């Protein structure tokens, strides 16, 4: 088994300490942080989701896997974000109301920091008005909404509406999360959709520069 496969296996099995230890080893071995994310962590979480869908594992297993992924991300984050650069733009991000998933949202926040954004992270289960208030307070160029459940997609609709109809300053809205598509983004009046954190960073930069 390669080191990346071992990291994936430890995350999928929810072995938090091993995930951290192996991630440190991979960094020491000179493996690119982005490769650790793309080739070990993301496939591990996708496999966990698939097992959950097939009723082979249940919520506790899904939860420990997410904690192992977070441990690996904690070690990778300083390597994904360049230190000491004065941010050029501001972004607000959060997971919409009713939704507690934050791994993808956190990854997008890390990539945005790496792309020269100051990021205000509102966390999970964020009510529409909290997004509006944060936009008024921080005046970001970009706001990101994350949803991982089909049942919380309507909260994304409500949030976009609340932002658009408020007296908050104009802002570009980027949406993402497993059930979200570019068609859905168009339908609800978002400015852009990204299926992954790297694309989210490219899009945020081009939207902020307009």
Site residues, ligand B12 (CB under 6 A): 42, 45-46, 48-49, 52-53, 59, 62-63, 66, 98-105, 107-108, 144-146, 148-151, 174-179, 194-197, 200
Q: What is the nearest approach in angstroms of ligand B12 to the Cβ of residue 81? A: 15
Q: What angle do CA 97, 196, 28 make, to 5 degrees?
A: 115
Q: What is the nearest approach in angstroms of ligand B12 to the Cβ of residue 166? A: 19
Task: Catalogue the E-assigned strands of the chain.
Answer: 89-95, 117-121, 142-146, 172-176, 192-193
Q: CA 202 to CA 206: how far, in whole Å?
A: 6
Q: In what order do the strands lie in the sheet with 192-193?
A: 117-121, 89-95, 142-146, 172-176, 192-193
Of 105 and 113, CB closest to ligand B12: 105
Of 26 and 142, CB closest to ligand B12: 142
Of 40 and 108, CB closest to ligand B12: 108
Q: What is the nearest approach in angstroms of ligand B12 to the Cβ of residue 26? A: 18
List residues bridging with 94 in a β-sheet: 145
Q: What is the nearest approach in angstroms of ligand B12 to the Cβ of residue 129? A: 19
Of 42 and 119, CB closest to ligand B12: 42
Of 21 and 51, CB closest to ligand B12: 51
Q: What is the nearest approach in angstroms of ligand B12 to the Cβ of residue 2? A: 21
Q: How far is CA 138 from CA 133, 141, 144, in A?
A: 9, 9, 14
DSSP string, 153-200: HHHHHHHHHHHHHSSSPP-EEEEESTT--HHHHHHTT-SEE-SSHHHH
């Amino acid at each position: 088994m390669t080191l990346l496969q071992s990291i994936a296996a430890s995350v999928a099995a929810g072995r938090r300490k091993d995930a951290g230890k192996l991630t440190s080893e991979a960094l020491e071995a000179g493996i690119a942080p982005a490769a650790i994310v793309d080739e070990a962590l993301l496939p591990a979480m996708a496999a966990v989701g698939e097992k959950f869908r097939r009723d082979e594992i249940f919520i506790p297993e899904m939860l420990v896997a997410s904690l192992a992924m977070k441990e690996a991300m904690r070690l990778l984050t300083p390597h994904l974000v360049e230190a000491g650069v004065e941010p050029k733009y501001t972004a607000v991000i959060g997971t919409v109301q009713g939704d507690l998933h934050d791994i993808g949202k956190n990854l997008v926040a890390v990539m945005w920091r790496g792309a020269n954004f100051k990021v205000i992270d509102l966390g999970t289960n964020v009510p529409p008005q909290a997004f509006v208030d944060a936009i008024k307070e921080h005046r970001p160029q970009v706001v990101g909404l994350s949803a991982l459940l089909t049942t919380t997609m309507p909260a994304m609709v409500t949030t976009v509406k609340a932002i658009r109809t408020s007296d908050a300053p104009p802002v570009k809205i980027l949406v993402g999360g497993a059930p979200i598509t570019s068609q859905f983004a168009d339908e609800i009046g978002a400015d852009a959709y990204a299926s992954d954190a790297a694309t989210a960073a490219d899009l945020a930069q081009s939207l902020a520069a307009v």
